[in-house]
Structure 1
């Protein structure tokens, strides 16, 4: 019997092609139990690698050692890698370039906008998938249902109308002849629809923007604007009132245990002016709330200074109270304190 000749002898790795070396490395890693994401390679490279592996038989230990050593040396000498194509570059730059530029580049290059579309769909909330299923054809919905995990598919069916769920379930039996290319195109279309959120010029909603503006407005201006909003759109006015946080809201929105942390952020002279001005302006509950939840000695000292200060001009009072409110907002934004939740606030008034 004729002996089988190895693909290469020890020391002959230099004569192997890069495709052969790649096949050897992939086969070696698979044998070692490594998980290799070959699906990330372009289809052409996947096909070439598969064909190359199919044409090879075996290599001796010396050649394997040479190829692995060369591969390791290349890895050690690699300083930086770049993503493949525009799609990879856009993923790497996600959040660092404007949405408008990213959308234009995707459109011009005709690349996938969302990577693996089915991964995006499988991770989506069912509440987002239900309206899509209701809008799409039964055949597309059947493909979607088939691609989901069994438990999520069952949950999705449970959220649909009975007649629609029955029609989709029957259509699943007709999906056996659907080609992989069709499934891929359906996934791309569904992912695009799932993420088809219109771009907006503002990062915050109208309620948050109006609330933020009124937070820094004088009390007279704020009250006048809110009165006008009440006459125009009571629902919107109610939402804006909820978004506003001013000195008067401190007892309802700030936890008593956070008061010492807040007062340390405010110069004592400004705090005295704010509390004295609050009493003058009819905001005694807010002033009392702050005083009753700070250290006893400090509260007594501030009360004495408030008596010595006497009546405070409205303008000075508003500036001082704004400084206190800004300290609260800054600490909340930094995560050092948290506002009282709406349900806790309601219970406190019961």
Structure 2
């Protein structure tokens, strides 16, 4: 018999066992040891420090585990799994991400075509979110057959806008091919997907094909009503403090300062170093500088304009650093309730 780990209270016996032989941390430790090293490492990487400490102590303290102990650990896992629901939403997308991580993009796409042939190709889905002018730039010089196939794969309104932006001779050929077209084969859709992948990457960089991230999360929070920020970020911080910090860092942008009213802007400028302000405004157009300069006296505004001109060329990273420093000042003032950034629905915004 395997003795329960000292210091832990055994949980009630799992279904099918008269009494529990192992504590919950013991059973978790046994289950982890039944996995291979890669799987175990993946699970461990998701644990918080206190969880890892507790689990590690259980693994070290366990002696030899017999078949009864292993069976109890697996039964406990099954019991817990019965309480959970695995959502069906975007299952194909989840599978695609998993395959891309393990097989790479090319093999993953090939496998998705076998197991989910009706799933829309990834880059075609991205194309549905691109502005028509961008799509014209990406595929405008392609063969009319290729353009026609893409327009059939995206929504009618952007497709019509793309068509309108094409030269008249190309419009005629595209419409003729659309009128004659039958069902688009999976091979044709994959060819378009590969083309879009290459064109999007070449024009906007590989990151353009990445969805999500702290900035996208911050954008959603900034647009959400109510106290979303105050509810979501603390909950995320409990599980992943660096991720919560990365999202919060993206919540407040320098562009948000352009919407400050003159009184709030004046309060902000009192705490901003003049040299940092010059560097920050150096990266803006004259129109974008207006909210800052309008909150100053005419004499002070003219002085800042002169300093900007005399400053000469400045590295972009220095402009970004100066703007980031001013945002930090604004965040502190917002936290103290001295200014309001954004809509005013939350602690900061």
TM-score (norm 1): 0.33
TM-score (norm 2): 0.33
Larger Rg: 1
